[in-house]
Amino acid sequence: MLAKAVPRPCSGAGRHGAPAARLRSVGVAGGPRRGGAGGRLVAADAGERMPVVAVAAGKQPVNGAAMAGIDKLVTSTVGKSTNILWHDCPIGQFERQKLLNQKGCVVWITGLSGSGKSTLACALSRELHSRGHLTYILDGDNLRHGLNRDLCFEAKDRAENIRRVGEVAKLFADAGLICIASLISPYRSERSACRKLLHNSTFIEVFLNVPLEVCEARDPKGLYKLARAGKIKGFTGIDDPYEPPSDCEIVIQCKAGDCATPKSMADQVVSYLEANEFLQD
């Protein structure tokens, strides 16, 4: 019969009556933190007084009495969110990238409906997977089954759709993954806003430059036919504009009767990733 383990003391004396280790308190030290000026959390031995941090412009201190051992925490207001504080972790993007043997980035595929965005995304993911690299696809239609199912196709909701995808893509890139976003994303301003969320070199815009007549002839979902019949309003390319990129990283050209295979398109993107050291051996 197994003997019961002797319970360890929770407070007061340590093992065999020795004094317990002194509790450490958490406070704020000066220094930069992600997202702008502010403080960073540090630990100190009990009894050691933590320095008071000056409150930066646009930020407010948390009531010091709410948490023992903390003089002041600098919080922020971001959008409609108030009293929030960014917490850093010792395991960051660098450590995750080292573990995965690749650099996190966002491959943002844009183009008209029917241009082959989802096809390219899947071909690219398959090619990178075969080489031992971890990817994740954010497909516009797939996301509207869950994350963005509360959004319609009016201008305001389309903008919010792109904003959400940009924020999620940023998280995947920070996790060290090669995130492949596949969306029409018709407006330059919205794609530019997503680019600004990341370090510029880690946002790779891929433009599938396929003429409208080719996309309409394909019409895989029958949407162009519905738009021409007036049953869909605000359809990109018909009664709503598509603004092609003016300075993207990769352009894949397709003309009637002369379109590259999904594999060759994927290889073009992989070549860019290799040349810019996103794929490490």
Tokens at 221, concatenated: 């979902």
Q: Which pairs from 45-54 meet CB under 8 Å and 24+ separation?
A: 46/22, 47/22, 50/25, 51/27, 53/28, 53/29
78/74 Cα distance (integer angstroms): 13
The answer to whether 185 is a known catalytic residue is yes
Instruction: Output phi, psi for 117, to 5 deg.
Output: -60, -50
Q: Closest Cα to residue 178, out of 247, 126, 251?
A: 126
One-letter amino acid for residue 131 of the chain = R
Which of 185, 201, 246, 264 is an active site residue? 185
Alpha carbons 16 and 39: distance in angstroms, whole number: 40
Cα separation, 234 vs 188, whole angstroms: 17
Quickly list DSSP for 185-215. ---HHHHHHHHHTS-GGGEEEEEEE--HHHH
Q: 106: which strand partners?
A: 179, 203
Q: Do residues 106 and 165 lie in contact, with contact meaning Cβ atoms separated by under 8 Å?
A: no
The values of phi and psi at residue 182, to 5°, are -125, 100
Strand bridging mode 74-78 / 59-61: antiparallel
What is the distance of C-alpha 159 from the center of its chain? 16
d(CA 33, CA 89): 11
Start-to-end Cα distance in the chain: 53
The set of catalytic residues is: 185
